[in-house]
Structure 1
Amino acid sequence: MRFIASLAVVTGLAMAAPLGAQAASLHTDWEKYKATRAFNHLSADGQRAMVDILNAKQVLDSGQTEQAIPALYDATKRLTAAGKANAKFMAAETTLHPAPQHPAASTHVPGTTPVTWIPVGGEIVGSETLAPEKKAAIATANTQLKTGNTQQAAQSLQVVGEDADFIMALAPLEQTQGAINRASVFTEARNPKAASAALQQALDGLVFVSEDFAETVMPHGGKSASHGK
C-alpha cells in the first residue's frame, strides 16, 4: 500500500505540468523517493554511534585519551538505544552476502550463529563513466551520510538519478559493543594505541550489503519485522 500511495502522490503532483515536465518531475520525485526509502532503513542511533566511534578514534590516533571518553560513552549509549529500536534484525553473517564493492577480507571467517545487526550507515556508489556533476553529488551525499544527514543526502542525489546504488553498512551489535567496551578500558588506562585498535576492530566488523538485499531482511517504514524482535 505504501508503494502504491507514494506513486499516486508523485503522479498527482505531475498531472498539471506539460508532458515533458511531467516525465522529468516524475523521474526526480521517484528517485528521491527511492533514496529516502533506502535511507529510512538506517538506525538513527546506530548512525550517531558510528560517528562517535570515528570521532573517538581520531582523537585516540592523535595520542589523546581524556578527550575520547565522552565520545565512547555516547557510542555505548546510542548502540544500546539502537538495539532496543525496530531498525534491526537477526541473521547469521554467512547469510548476508556482502556487496561486491565491499567484500570481506580474505582472512575473515563469517559467523554461522544468528546475531543482531544494526544498519549504521551506507555509501553511494556510481560508475566511473558518470558525469563530473553526478560524481560530485555522490561525494557530497556520502559525506552527508557519514554525519547522519540522510535528508540532505537524498536531496543531493536528485541529480544522480538511477545511475547510483546504495550500499548499506551493518554492524553486529554485541561485537561492536564489546569493541567499544575494550576501547573504553584502554582509554581509561591511558593506552590510546590499544584503544584505537579496539575501535578499528569495530569498524572492520561492518558488513556492507546491497539495498536490494536489505529490503528482503529488514523492517519497513519503521515497523518491526518478526525476525527483528
Structure 2
Amino acid sequence: MTIKKSLILAATFMATLSSAHAASLHTDWEKFQAGRAMHHLSADGQKAMVDVLQARDLLSQGKVDAAIPPLYDAQKRLAAAGKDNRNFVAAESQLQPVPQRPAPASHKPSTGTVTWIPVGGEFIVTDTLAPEKKAAAQAANQQLKAGQTQQAQQTLQVVGEDADFIVALAPLEQAEGALNRATVFTEGRQAPQAVEALDDLLNGVVFVSDDFFAQAVPSKGQASAKKSQ
C-alpha cells in the first residue's frame, strides 16, 4: 500500500469516526435535555395534581365517596411537595408566564410572597415540528399529565431539543387551602362546592419557561452553600 493511499484511508476513517461521534453526542444531548426538564418537576407535586384531577372527575359524576381517597392522597402529597428542594419563594408578579399558556380568566393572582411548587410540565408543539416529533411531544404531554415522568423522558428522546418545555407552578398555600375546602365539602357530600374549590386550585397554576424556572431555583449545591453560611 502506498503512503498516499494510506493517508486517504486514514482520513476517511477519521471522518467516519467524527460523524459517528457527533451523532452520539447529539443523542446524548437530547437525552440530557429531556432528563433536565423532567428533573425540575416535583414527583409529589405531580402525583398531587393527578389526584386532584381524578377527584374532580369523580365529583363531577356525583361519585362523592369515591372522590375522598384521592383527595386525602392529594393532601399528603401536596404537604410532601412543600418540603421538596425544587420549590422557590417569590411574588407572582416576579414570575414570567409564557404566552403559550396564559392564565385563565378566572385566575386569582396570589398576594404577597408565596412558595411555588413545580407540579407539572408540558412540551410546546409548533406547526414546524416534524410529524413524528410532534406526535412524540403530544404523547409525552399525556404521560406527564398522568404523572408518568420516566415514560415521558423516554418518549422525549425522539423530540430532543426541538420543543420548548414549560413548567406548571402551583402556589402552595393557596393550593392547600383550596384542597382543604374541597375535602370538607366532599365529606359533607356537597359535590358542586367541592368541584368549585378544586377549580380554584387548578386556576391558580401559572406556566413559566424551563429556563426561568432553572434560574429561579438554586441548585442543590448552591442551596447547601447558603445553608452553611
Do the two structures share a fold, i.e. TM-score over 0.5? Answer: yes
Shift of 1:105: 3.4
1:71 matches 2:70: yes
Q: Please say if residues 86 and 223 of structure 1, whose CA atoms lie closer than 8 Å, have aligned partners that are also in contact.
A: no
Taking structure 1 as reference, are residues 28 and 168 closer, same or farther at Cα in structure 2, changes over 3 Å only? same
Q: Which amino acid aligns with 1:151?
A: Q
Q: Please, what TM-score do these two structures have when normalized by structure 2? A: 0.86
Taking structure 1 as reference, are residues 121 and 180 closer, same or farther at Cα in structure 2, changes over 3 Å only? same
Matching of residues 1-229 of structure 1 within 5 Å? 18-105=17-104, 108=107, 110-220=109-219, 224=223
Q: Encode CA deviations 1:36-63: one digit per residue, 9 max, x unaligned.
A: 1121111111111001001100100111
Shift of 1:169: 0.2
Q: Which amino acid aligns with 2:185?
A: F
Shift of 1:93: 0.3
Secondary structure in structure 2 of the residue aligned to 1:18? helix
Number of equivalenced pairs: 212
Shift of 1:145: 1.0
Shift of 1:202: 0.5
Q: Please say if residues 107 and 204 of structure 2, whose CA atoms lie closer than 8 Å, have aligned partners that are also in contact.
A: no
Shift of 1:107: 6.3
Moved more, 17-26 or 148-157: 17-26
Structure index of larger Rg: 2
Shift of 1:112: 4.8
Secondary structure in structure 2 of the residue aligned to 1:84? coil
RMSD of the TM alignment (CA)? 2.1
Taking structure 1 as reference, are residues 222 and 200 closer, same or farther at Cα in structure 2, changes over 3 Å only? farther
Q: Unpaired runs of 5+ in structure 2?
A: 1-13
Q: Please say if residues 41 and 218 of structure 1, whose CA atoms lie closer than 8 Å, have aligned partners that are also in contact.
A: no
Shift of 1:222: 8.4
Taking structure 1 as reference, are residues 221 and 137 closer, same or farther at Cα in structure 2, changes over 3 Å only? farther
Q: Unpaired runs of 5+ in structure 1?
A: 1-14
Give the corresponding residue for 1:3. none
Secondary structure in structure 1 of the residue aligned to 2:82? helix
Residue identity over aligned pairs, in percent, reads 60
For residues 62 and 106 of structure 2, the distance between their equivalents in structure 1, rounded to whole angstroms, comes to 29
Taking structure 1 as reference, are residues 223 and 70 closer, same or farther at Cα in structure 2, changes over 3 Å only? farther
Q: Please say if residues 107 and 203 of structure 2, whose CA atoms lie closer than 8 Å, have aligned partners that are also in contact.
A: no
For residues 120 and 106 of structure 2, the distance between their equivalents in structure 1, rounded to whole angstroms, comes to 24
Taking structure 1 as reference, are residues 134 and 51 closer, same or farther at Cα in structure 2, changes over 3 Å only? same
Q: Please say if residues 86 and 222 of structure 1, whose CA atoms lie closer than 8 Å, have aligned partners that are also in contact.
A: no
After TM superposition, what 4+ stretches of structure 1 lie above 4 angstroms from structure 2?
A: 106-109
For residues 92 and 107 of structure 1, the distance between their equivalents in structure 2, rounded to whole angstroms, comes to 19
